[in-house]
Amino acid sequence: MPRIGCKDAPWRRAVLQYGSAILAVAVALGVKLLLASTLRGEASYLFFLPAILIASALGGWGPGLLATLLGLGLGLFFIADVRSPLASDIINAVAFLLVGIGVSWRGAILNRFRRSAVSSAEEAHTRATHLQSILDSIPEAMIVIDERGSMQSFSATAERLFGYGASDVLGQNVKMLMPSPYRQEHDNYLNRYIRTGERRIIGIGRVVVGQRKDGSTFPMELAVGEMRVRDQRFFTGFIRDITERQETEARLQELQSELVHMSRLTAMGEMASALAHELNQPLSAIANYMKGSRRLLENRSDDGAKMLRDAMDKAAEQALRAGQIIRRLRDFVARGESERRVEDVKKLIEEASALALVGAKDKGVRVTFEFDPRGDFVLADKVQVQQVLLNLMRNAIEAMEDTDKRELVVSTMLRTNNLIEISVADTGAGIAPEISAQLFQPFVTTKRHGMGVGLSISRTIIEAHGGSIATRPYPGGGTVFSFTLPAVTKEEAGNAV
Ligand code: ADP
């Protein structure tokens, strides 16, 4: 069947349409001739009706009418061949003409529909191609899911980012792009949003962790928009890999400004405390020497000796005062205001992990999470605890730089005494034996550019929360750092989160 598109030249189209009408009638004629001996003059017109329908459906009114007239002429010719036309033949001919006009009319309508369907399909195709080309060129990966989380669209950038081809993932649940346990919980998030309208990411955007086809994890910035098409709801996620982007520093600073501020303050506290500790001994020695010297001068009663005694008393006083000043500074910084709230431990960990993974792409680190379902909430200063996590994870990633296996496991465990233990385990080289005894002391480091204050700050923060921090070897090589925080039950958390 010739394809009669609206883009053909008009004369060409007309030739094709009228040609199709003639061809259709010719075919009908052929069939009629084949059966002529059986039918004789009967049902002469019947064969031409399908031809009229085809001609008008393809070409509209004109070809339909042409087929009708041709059919009529040929029908009369066959009758005349058998007998001289009777009155009934004339009635049949008129009836055929009317039916032919009717069929042509329907066919013309059909033709109009067909043409408008072809043109809207072409228009839709052009629009879809245009949209696709826009989506392919935006730097963000785009994924569209339906209400059940099933992926409906997966852009070319998403293919590059996650390592899956669109055909592998379309129709599958989007949770396959998340590490455990966020993977298991995604359905609940979606269901809860649909039930209650409570927004966690939709319309807000967050830094979260994604998982590629090869299992490796990476930090990503996710913005989700919602759309409704008739009564169906869809969610479009725009994803940006923030592992390695140019503005990493700027973004990090923005996200970490609070952390940086806190860490400076705590570092100052740590330094003050270390200084106090270090200076205490020389200052007490100075005070003692002063007292000794004063005693030696006690037996002398000349004016000079009296003045010397006074000066020494004052010097000893000042030495003690210097010690007090440093101690006071330390207390002041250590008291630094902390704001403790009920925090969702999983969310807290996810954000900190995403930050820790920034810049870790080349290191090929894979993070897995194991959360104890019995403990979801802690009472903590989020910024401070994230700072501890960030320290521990960065240390862990650095410790795995020279090992082949680079796995970071962040887990939680509800302990007795109403404490939640958070652990960061790595498959790195383990703690250097020469520093293991003073690990949490300030200024202890094995790194060329290390300050050695991270762990001591972490300990200060955790102890201020009423918890403790410790380390142990990780079976199979590597280190586990774990710390505890006060747990809050779901009931206690109530509406606090
Ligand atoms: P810094 O990272 O500046 O050295 P920290 O106080 O955070 O300061 O760490 C002190 C030292 O503890 C590090 O230099 C390193 O030798 C050791 N360390 C910390 N975490 C790990 C770990 N996960 N694996 C092996 N060694 C570690």
- Calculate how far, in angstroms, residue 334's C-alpha sits from the geometric centre of ligand 1: 22
Mutate to test the pocket of ligand 1, among 363, 427, 445 (most ligand atoms within 8 A of CB): 445
pTM, 2 dp: 0.54
**Cβ atoms of residues 162 and 177 within 8 Å:** yes
Only one residue has tokens 């000066």, namely 311
Give the nearest ligand 1 atom to 444 CA. 10
Report pLDDT for 2.
42
- Residue 215 DSSP one-character state: S
Atom number, ligand 1, closest to the C-alpha of residue 478:
24
Quick check: CB of 479 below 6 Å from ligand 1?
yes
Q: Is the CB of 266 under 6 A from ligand 1?
A: no
Q: How far is the CA of 311 from the centre of ligand 1 (A)?
A: 47
Strand partners, 415: 419
Closest residue CA from atom 8 of ligand 1 = 452
Closest ligand 1 atom to the C-alpha of 396?
23
3-state DSSP percent of the chain in helix, strand and coil, to 5:
55, 20, 25
Kindly state if the Cβ of 172 falls inside 6 Å of ligand 1.
Answer: no
**CA dist., res. 367 & res. 153, Å (int):** 27
Ligand 1 pocket test target in 365, 395, 435 with most atoms within 8 Å of CB = 395
Write the residue with the smallest CA distance to atom 11 of ligand 1.
445
- Whether ligand 1 lies within 6 angstroms of the CB of 284 is answered as no
246 and 359 in contact (C-beta within 8 Å)? no
Q: How many other C-beta atoms can be found within 10 angstroms of the C-beta atom of residue 224?
A: 20
Q: Specify the pLDDT at position 269.
A: 67
477 lines ligand 1 (CB under 6 A): no
Residue 9 DSSP one-character state: -
pLDDT tens track for 27-73: 888 888 887 777 665 667 777 888 888 888 888 888 888 988 888 88
Give residue 98 CA to ligand 1 midpoint distance, Å.
96
Ligand 1 neighbour 391 (Cβ under 6 A): yes
Amino acid 309 reads R
| Integer Cα distance of 49 and 28 in angstroms | 9
The set of residues, in sequence order, having a beta carbon less than 8 Å from that of 193 and lying 6+ positions away, is: 199, 200, 202
Give distance in angstroms: CA of 446 to centre of ligand 1.
7
Our measurement of the distance from residue 104's CA atom to the centroid of its chain's CA atoms, rounded to an integer in Å, reads 57
Q: Are the CB atoms for 111 and 60 separated by under 8 Å?
A: yes
Tokens of 222: 């996710």
- Counting from 1 in the atom list of ligand 1, the atom nearest the Cα of 455 is 6
Does ligand 1 have an atom closer than 6 angstroms to the CB of 428? yes
- How many A from CA of 432 to the centre of ligand 1? 9
CA 439 from chain center: how many Å? 37
- Residue 246: the pLDDT is 44
341 C-alpha to ligand 1 centroid (Å): 29
pLDDT for 359 equals: 64
- Find the 190 Cα to ligand 1 centroid distance in Å: 40
Please identify which residue in the block is written with the tokens 């004789």. 40
Minimum-distance ligand 1 atom for the alpha carbon of 428:
24
| Six token digits for residue 90 | 């004339």
Residues of the chain with pLDDT under 70: 1-8, 39-43, 82, 85, 244-270, 272-273, 326-327, 329-338, 359-362, 494-497
- Ligand 1 centroid to 345 CA: how many Å? 24
Q: Whose CA is nearest to atom 16 of ligand 1?
A: 446
**Ligand 1 within 6 A of 457 CB?**
no
Q: Is 436 in the pocket of ligand 1 (CB under 6 A)?
A: no
Nearest CA, atom 23, ligand 1: 396
348 pocket-lining for ligand 1 (C-beta < 6 Å):
no
Residues 6+ apart with CB under 8 A from 123: none
The DSSP symbol for 474 reads: P
Block residue for tokens 């094709």: 16
Q: How many CA atoms lie within 13 A of 78 on its CB side?
A: 23
The full set of domains in the chain, from first to last, is 6-134 (no CATH), 141-241 (3.30.450.20), 245-334 (1.10.287.130), 341-496 (3.30.565.10)
Task: Give the pLDDT score at 433.
Answer: 92
Q: Which pLDDT tens digit goes with each residue over 128-179?
A: 888 777 777 777 889 999 989 999 989 888 999 999 999 999 999 999 999 9
Angle made by CA atoms 430, 434, 439, in degrees to the nearest 5: 70
pLDDT at 4: 43
Cα–Cα dist 137/114, whole Å:
34
